[in-house]
Amino acid sequence: MKKIVCYGCNLGCGLYFGDVPYFRKNSPVNSGKICRFGMKIHRYEKVLPKVDGKNVELDDAIAAAAKKLADVKEMAFVSFGDVTCEEQLAFNKLAEAFESDVHTCIPRFIGANIEKIRQSKEIITFIDPYTSYPLILRHMLHAKKNGAKITSYYWKKLRIADESVILNPAEIDKIKSINFGDSLVITDLNPLNLDFSNEIIKSCNAENIVCLKPFLNSTGASLISDGEKSIYQIFEEIKEKKIKGLYLLESDLGIVPDDTLMAALDELEVLIVQQSMRNALSDRADIVLCGDRKFEGKGTVLNFEGRVLENEGGTEGIKILTDILKSVGEEIDYDKMHAEVLSKLGINEIDEYIVPKYDIKYKQPEAEIKNYEGDAHLVYAYNPFMWNNVIDRDFVEISPSLVESLNLHKDELLKMTSSKGSVAVKYKINNAMPDNIVLSPMKLPISTDIVTPVNFKEP
Amino acid sequence: MKIGDCVVAWSKDEELRKMGASGGLVTSLLVGALETELVDEVIALRKISEFEGVPIRTSDTDEAIRSAGSLHAAPINLTKFAVRFFEEHPDGAIALPVKPCDCRGIIEQAKRRKIDMDRIYLIGLNCGGTMDPITTMEMLEKMYEMDPKKIVEEEILKGKLIFKTEEEEKAISIDEVEEAGYGRRESCRYCGINIPMMADLACGNWGAGEDETFVEILTEKGLRLMKSAVDHGLIETAPAPEKGIKIREKTNSVMENVAKTWYEKVFVPIEDRSERMKYYMDAMEDCIDCEACKYVCPVCSCDESKCIGFYDPMDSHKISIYHLIRLLHLADSCIGCGQCTDVCPAEIPLTILHKRVADRIQAKYDYIPGIDMKTPPFFEVE
């Protein structure tokens, strides 16, 4: 069995993997415990190499990618960080060879560590630890057991919170008036909520913020790559023809709530994806390069604390990049990349039980928090399945009062309409939900943003 | 040698005597079982550090040798690895070292036709308990003032927990470390089965001299294991001295009493029915539906899991049907090994919750799971 790190989020949960996951009890982050996603990491269909819709040998796909990279100017390179630091660095080299940067779509930031959560006396959370980052829950429970007061600002009441403040989409900017004091703040930094997280990060002392991120190596990738474009800027520049070709390394732009944005990809001269999972993006791509499965890449991973972790596995992903780089006369290999990664991190060896110190300046993204119009809203409950565009739970959560007011019966579907159209979905009644929110763990076709104004009238 | 004999034994290989615990006997038995083709494969823990052991299944004697050494801070139950072997090789044979809880899991799986007891060689290991690796590392830093990375050996002897580096050795009583919240896993503290009398051999250092293992030969298979290792020139044996036999009995009796005290401390009865229900609802409400407890459970054996099959995550019950089915399913088979608590991401004390139900049922039917092939009471309902 290999020692791997779960790619469900950037918590850095260690586990073993043979042909199925197994519990690695000496992992410093999770003590061998893994969430629902971690238990299922291996269950996905691997994509095959492809050029223009036809299955080809990987070498032919690599040759096609090299040719397109030489031909198409204004290429953009995106990697959210679902790869090791070594692969991210190799991707940087490729982007540099074509005079570009790699965009991670998440700003560089490292805040407080797990130990700080466990020792905290006051915690303010903006995430739902039960679904969004489940392995953070046990550290929060530990703090609570030791007397910590937990206040949540979220879309529903949280069981762990002593005080739950329900966020109202029409007045989200009210978070500006929260007095954080010396509380430890737990929040989430992801490509879709830069305005929200930015507001929190700039209001608190960085040492008091636990900043969770959604991808395996979000933190490591953001330290290695310098690109600063947001996911929405990339779509915008594709529409404006400033970006004519796109190379996505294990990065599914389909995470954007508004799937009409994805139509912009059809305007590209070339869409190259290097990924392991077969999905709508790989079906849409002109060239598909198939690397190691997300949890099988050999190399270094940094979790949200900046803790350096080792992932045992293969180097197929780096080999693809190496082969493409050869076409422009650059020679790299895994060992070179690994040595450079350690040097960049300022360490000589990996020690997962120590969190190195970092001196990182958070660069505020251009994002202003906004309120949402309307009386009722569909809201996304981030979770590892959603970030991987996989449906785990095909139902939304709503309050008993909403069920009553809509006169919904058991087995009936909840009908919602937004500016994009209508949808009917299964629902679960949850006493913790407010009446004006529909919380969804999956993407729905009517969404326009992470918060979408909806009504419940028949279209 | 014959069934019922108590002997002391050790590896004839000098290197193995050094690498393995108590004279390297167990590793030699595994090597012997492979070399004499008693088995196709062995299961063991490949030692990565004093706090990490990776379960391996191998037919390679060199790999079996590399697994030598005891690991008290790598609490893994090997039952499901044995089940996997028989799924892949229904006619194969396998040998493995087993703690009492491994052995009990294997016997319960055998009752459910997942393991062939005629083809599995169980080298039982006396067990005073295992420890969680992360809290043990913390304990080393805080109580022993030792660097966990420098630990080369650990040992439980005469009620003390001993850690050694190349330079020093420190011992603190188990009572003291457990009082501070460290030491053995909770389920090990109240476990009263320390000598695996249900295995083919019961091995350990209780009553043994330095660099030797005390062995009680319990079955025909156990005798076969010992004889084949002797005939193959891998081990040497001598009759166990009377004093050693008495020390072993006394140590076991002390451990049983400690377990009883812990049991009474942990399992304070909740007499009031509504309080009991509230206690269960409160504990289980943190569940995040990962299903890890079912996956790791050594006695869980449904081909089509009823706990999952009849559970709808859309239900809003405070205790999910998943847990209710598992409580019922484990009522006659829970061996209290602690694996479910170990892997629960929401820190739900699942082992205690299951044992509170199971102990009542098991006491009523005078049935202890995993100690013999007696049919579970719920099977007889059919």
**Using one digit for the tens of pLDDT, what is the confidence trace for A237-270?**
999 999 999 999 999 999 999 999 999 999 999 9
Interface-testing mutation among A25, A27, A426, with chain B (most B C-beta atoms within 10 A): A25
A55 interfacial to chain B (CB closer than 8 Å): no
Of B76, B285, B292, which has the smallest distance from its Cβ to A39's Cβ?
Answer: B292
CB-defined contacts A:B, below 8 A: 95
User: Which residues have a Cβ under 8 Å from the Cβ of A213 and sit 6 or more positions away?
Assistant: A9, A10, A81, A106, A188, A189, A190, A219, A304
Three-state DSSP at A39 gives: helix
Question: Cα dist. B130→B24, B72, B133 in Å?
Answer: 20, 5, 9
| Contact assignment for A26 to B74 by CB distance below 8 Å | yes
Contact B342 A134 (CB under 8 A): no
Contact B347/A39, CB-based, under 8 Å? no
Q: In Å, how far is B344's CA from the nearest CA of chain A?
A: 6
B51 to chain A, closest Cα gap in Å: 6
Nearest CA in chain B to A140: B346
Determine how many CB atoms are found less than 10 A away from the CB of residue A40. Answer: 19
Strand duo B153-157 + B120-125: pairing: unpaired
Nearest to B134 among A26, A393, A395 (CB): A26
Q: Which residue of A has its CA nearest to B80?
A: A22
Amino acid A459: pLDDT: 60
Smallest Cβ–Cβ distance between B316 and the set A26, A30, A429 belongs to A429
Same domain for A99 and A119?
no
Q: Are residues A24 and A89 in the same domain?
A: yes
- Tell me: do A59 and A85 sit in the same domain: yes
Give bridge partners of residue A150 from the DSSP assignment.
A123
**Are B49 and A26 an interchain contact pair (Cβ–Cβ within 8 Å)?**
yes
CATH at residue A142: 3.40.228.10
pLDDT computed for residue A47 by the predictor: 96
Element (H, E) at B262: helix B242-266
Looking at the predicted structure, is the pLDDT value of residue A151 above 80?
A: yes
Domain total in chain A: 3
Distance CA A182, CA A448 (A): 36
The mean per-residue pLDDT over the stretch A17-32 comes to 95
Structure pTM?
Answer: 0.95
Q: Tell me whether residue A37 is in a domain.
A: yes
- Residue A6: inside a domain: yes
pLDDT at B85 over 80: yes
CB contact under 8 A, B132 and A159: no
CB contact at 8 A, A64 and A51: yes
Per-residue pLDDT for B54 more than 80? yes
From CA B192, how far away is CA B374, in angstroms rounded? 20
Q: Do A137 and B292 touch (CB under 8 A)?
A: no
CA–CA–CA angle B8, B116, B304 (5° rounding): 130
Partners of residue A289 on adjacent β-strands: A274
Using the Cβ of B285 and the Cβ atoms of chain A, whether some distance falls under 8 Å is answered with: yes
Q: In chain B, what residues touch A141 (CB-CB under 8 Å)?
A: 286, 346-347
What residue in A sits closest to B346 (Cα-Cα)?
A138
SS3 A62: helix
Contact A141 B347 (CB under 8 A): yes
- Asked whether residue A257 falls in the same domain as residue A285, the answer is yes
Contacts of B285 in chain A (CB under 8 A): 159
Is A374 or B155 the better-scoring residue by pLDDT?
Answer: A374
The pLDDT-based confidence of A127 (bands split at 50, 70, 90) is very high
Check whether residue A131 and residue A166 sit in a common domain.
yes
Torsion of CA B53, B54, B59, B64, to 10 degrees: -20
CB contact under 8 A, A428 and B316: yes
When pLDDT is averaged across residues B166-184 and rounded to a whole number, the result is 94
Count Cβ atoms below 10 Å from residue A419 Cβ, excluding itself.
Answer: 10
Tell the burial category of B84 from Cβ atoms under 10 Å away from its Cβ (0-12, 13-18, 19+): middle
| Chain A residues 7-26 with a CB less than 8 Å from chain B | 16, 22-26
- Does the beta carbon of A136 lie under 8 angstroms from any beta carbon of chain B? no
CA distance A91 to A75: 13
Predicted pLDDT of residue B379: 75
Q: What is the mean pLDDT of the segment spanning A373-390?
A: 95
Q: Is residue A218 part of a domain?
A: no
For residues A256 and A392, state if they share a domain: no
The reply to whether residue A142 touches residue B51, judged by beta carbons under 8 angstroms, is: no
Q: Which amino acid is at B71?
A: L
Residue of B76, B88, B296 for testing the chain A interface, max A β-carbons within 10 Å: B76
CA distance A32 to chain B (A): 6
Chain B residues near residue A32 by CB distance under 8 angstroms: 342-343
Nearest-by-Cβ selection for B345 from A26, A138, A430: A138
CA B142 to chain centre: 27
For chain B, which residues make up each domain, given as ranges?
6-130+187-260, 133-183, 268-381
Return d(Cα B150, Cα B170) in angstroms, integer.
Answer: 13
Give the pLDDT score at B382: 45
Collect all residues of chain B within an 8 Å Cβ-Cβ radius of residue A160: 286
| Mean pLDDT computed over B120-130 | 96
Confidence at residue B380, expressed as pLDDT on a 0 to 100 scale: 67
- In terms of domains, do A149 and A90 share one? no
Of B133, B291, B313, the CB nearest to A26: B133
- Nearest-CB residue to A36 (from B133, B134, B290): B290
Q: What is the CATH number of domain B133-183?
A: 3.10.450
Q: Which of A33, A393, A428 sits opposite B344 (nearest CB)?
A: A33
**B132 lies within 8 A of chain A by CB:** yes
pLDDT band, very low/low/confident/very high, at B381 (cuts 50, 70, 90): low
Q: Which amino acid is located at B305 in the chain? A: S
Contact A395 B347 (CB under 8 A): no
Q: Does B55 touch chain A (CB under 8 A)?
A: yes
Cβ–Cβ below 8 Å for A134 and B291: no
Q: Find the closest chain A residue to B52 by CA distance.
A: A26
Torsion of CA A194, A195, A199, A200, to 10 degrees: -40
Query: What per-residue confidence (pLDDT) applies to A457?
Result: 82
Q: Which of residues 220-279 of A touch B (CB under 8 A)?
A: none
What pLDDT digit, counting tens, does each position of B24-47 carry?
999 999 999 999 999 999 999 999
Q: Is residue A367 part of a domain?
A: no
d(CA B55, CA B43): 7
Chain B residues touching residue A138 (CB < 8 angstroms): 345-347
Q: Look up the ipTM and state it.
A: 0.94
Domain membership flag for residue A158: yes
* Alpha-helical regions (H) of B14-68: 14-19, 25-35, 61-66
User: Is A34–B292 a contact, with Cβ atoms under 8 angstroms apart?
Assistant: yes
Same domain flag for A118 and A94? no
* Nearest residue, CB atoms, A26 vs list B51, B285, B296: B51
User: Does residue A371 sit within a domain?
Assistant: no
pLDDT in tens, A383-435: 999 999 999 999 999 999 999 999 999 889 999 999 999 999 999 999 999 99
Tokens of A343: 């040097």
Same domain for A236 and A322, yes or no, is: yes
Contact check, Cβ <8 Å, B343/A33: yes
Residue A459, domain member (yes or no): no
Beta bridge partners of A2: A17
Q: For residue A443, what pLDDT is reported?
A: 94
pLDDT for the residue A246: 98
Domain that holds residue A448: 376-454
> Please, which contacts does A328-335 make with residues 24 or more away whose CB atoms are closer than 8 Å?
A328/A66, A328/A70, A328/A97, A328/A98, A330/A93, A330/A97, A332/A90, A332/A93, A334/A86, A334/A298, A334/A299
Mean pLDDT along residues A184-197: 96
The mean pLDDT value for B281-287 works out to: 93
Same domain, A65 and A81: yes
Instruction: Find, in chain A, the residue whose alpha carbon is nearest to that of B291.
Output: A36
Joined tokens for residue A335: 């060992």
Tell the burial category of B341 from Cβ atoms under 10 Å away from its Cβ (0-12, 13-18, 19+): buried
User: Is residue A76 one of the residues assigned to a domain?
Assistant: yes
Same domain, A119 and A207: yes
B-chain residue closest to A131, CA distance: B288
Nearest to A221 by CA among A109, A54, A59: A109
**In this structure, are A312 and A229 located in the same domain?**
yes
Task: Determine the distance from the C-alpha atom of residue B328 to the mean position of all C-alpha atoms in its chain, rounded to a whole number.
Answer: 23
